[in-house]
């Protein structure tokens, strides 16, 4: 039995600290130790009873002292049953790294818009990418809106007018210049992963789409491929994970360039059945010598070495996608088609992310416009 400062017994799991606060603690069925502190013994007893009941009956007991940490644990447990594993992982990472340090121990009813804004502002000051800050905002928006719908809070602290994205200074993305791409291709053409590198440079696949490409989705007769799944290696679980494309717009058909067609046709004609390949990977296009797909990180590490050998800037696999989009924009202004090809949810994302005002594109567009003006008004002088 626990005791207060006067030596009186106040109940199992309850004690009074020297500062006068009452400590309530117990261990869950999973062996997790929980402890909270209260000014009043009555509130400490109530919290302890509710927490034990919740643990025993796997239900959520709502009280006025519920913390943001407690709500997130309950919310993410239910959320994980209805959304993709990637989404749950992103929610957890953003909460643990950015949200929890600022408001985790607060009562959920005490959270104000200023606390949510502080999370975003501190992320900006720490140099987080805009996309990661948006992901954190989405996490807060979703978890607090769910609390509102469950009548746990009277209103959500995350509103469009009260909590805003910090002004973002857009970071320039990396891509090969034409000369760098030519040098890279020359130095990488005899390398084991050259077909994968070149395919991304030709049609702009995401790495997970490249890894998960299967022969059933390759239509050589019509010179196109169909993207309907992704494959990633989850280091946290030590296992491969099949999943849908990044967004609903990720489901798409991509027409093959001549080089992309030649790469896939050669691979198809020379494919062999590796007895070491598990059944779930039998149809995968790109397999290594062990009969398994190649991990995302392995591709990036190999790409770094090829860049060093070619004496060009070191890029990631995703930067090869940037490079493909840049070459396209230097040659065409049909950004709608490029957006569909890349699987973007809107053409704005394509324009904001991939359209660069390169010297070549500027000169080409000026020449096109100059010629057009000359045709119209060349004789007017």
pLDDT in tens, 214-230: 999 999 999 999 999 99
Pick the residue with more confidence: 2 or 320? 320
3-state SS string for 294-325: CCHHHHHHHHHHHHHHHCCCCCCHHHHHHHHH
The per-residue pLDDT for 356 is: 57
pLDDT at 70: 92
Judge whether 14 and 48 are in contact, CB under 8 Å.
yes
Both structure tokens of 108: 């959920």
Provide CB contacts within 8 A for 361, sequence distance 6+: 329, 330
Note whether 146 and 101 are within 8 A (CB): no
Model confidence band, residue 82 (pLDDT cutoffs 50, 70, 90)? confident
User: Could you read off the pLDDT of 103-114 as tens digits, one per residue?
Assistant: 999 999 999 999
Residue 187's pLDDT band (cuts 50, 70, 90): very high
- C-alpha angle 21-26-32 in degrees, rounded to nearest 5: 120
What pLDDT sits at residue 168?
66
The class that CATH gives domain 178-364 is mainly alpha
Q: Which of 137, 211, 214 is nearest to 168 (CA)?
A: 137
The mean pLDDT value for 132-155 works out to 91
Check if 66-171 and 178-364 are the same fold.
no
Average of pLDDT values for 16-36?
85
Model confidence, pTM? 0.59
Instruction: Tell me if 245 sits within 8 A of 342, measured CB to CB.
Output: no
Domain ranges of the chain: 1-64, 66-171, 178-364
pLDDT(358) > 60: no
Q: Evaluate whether the domain defined by 66-171 bears CATH number 1.10.150.130.
A: yes
pLDDT-derived band at 47 (thresholds 50, 70, 90) equals confident
For residue 323 the two structure tokens come to 């490079």
Q: Is the pLDDT of residue 36 over 90?
A: no
Q: What element of type H or E holds 210?
A: helix 207-211
Architecture category of domain 1-64 in CATH? 2-Layer Sandwich (3.30)
Q: How far is CA 380 from CA 368, 370, 371, 376, in A?
A: 19, 14, 14, 9
Nearest to 263 by CA among 199, 171, 330, 332: 199
């Amino acid at each position: 039995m626990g005791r207060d400062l006067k030596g009186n017994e106040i109940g199992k799991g309850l004690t009074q600290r020297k500062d006068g606060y009452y400590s309530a603690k117990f261990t869950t069925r999973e062996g997790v130790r929980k402890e909270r502190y209260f000014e009043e013994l009555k509130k400490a007893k109530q919290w302890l009873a509710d927490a034990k009941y919740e643990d025993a009956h796997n239900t959520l007991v709502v009280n006025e002292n519920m913390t943001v940490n407690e709500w997130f644990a309950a919310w993410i447990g239910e959320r994980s049953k209805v959304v993709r594993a990637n989404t749950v992982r992103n929610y957890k990472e953003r909460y643990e790294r950015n949200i929890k340090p600022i408001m985790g121990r607060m009562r959920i009813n005490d959270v104000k818009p200023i606390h949510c804004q502080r999370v975003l502002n501190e992320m900006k000051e720490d140099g987080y990418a805009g996309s990661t800050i948006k992901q954190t905002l989405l996490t807060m928006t979703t978890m607090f809106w769910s609390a509102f719908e469950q009548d746990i809070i009277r209103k959500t602290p995350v509103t469009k007018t009260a909590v805003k994205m910090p002004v973002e200074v857009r970071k320039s993305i990396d891509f090969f210049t034409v000369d760098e791409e030519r040098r890279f291709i020359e130095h990488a053409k005899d390398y084991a992963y050259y077909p994968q590198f070149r395919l991304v440079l030709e049609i702009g696949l995401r790495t997970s789409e490249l890894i998960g490409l299967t022969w059933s989705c390759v239509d050589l007769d019509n010179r196109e491929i169909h993207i309907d799944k992704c494959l990633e290696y989850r280091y946290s679980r030590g296992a491969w994970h099949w999943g849908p494309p990044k967004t609903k717009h990720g489901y798409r058909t991509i027409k093959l360039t001549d080089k992309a067609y030649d790469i896939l046709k050669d691979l198809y004609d020379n494919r062999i059945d590796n007895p070491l390949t598990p059944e779930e990977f039998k149809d995968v296009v790109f397999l290594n010598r062990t009969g398994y797909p190649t991990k995302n990180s392995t591709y990036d590490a190999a790409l770094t070495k090829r860049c060093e050998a070619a004496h060009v800037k070191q890029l990631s696999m995703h930067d090869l996608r940037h490079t493909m989009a840049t070459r396209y924009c230097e040659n065409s202004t049909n950004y709608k088609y490029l957006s569909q090809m890349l699987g973007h949810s809107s053409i704005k994302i394509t324009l904001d992310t991939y359209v660069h005002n390169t010297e070549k594109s500027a000169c080409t567009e000026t020449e096109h416009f100059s010629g057009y003006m000359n045709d119209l008004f060349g004789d007017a002088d």
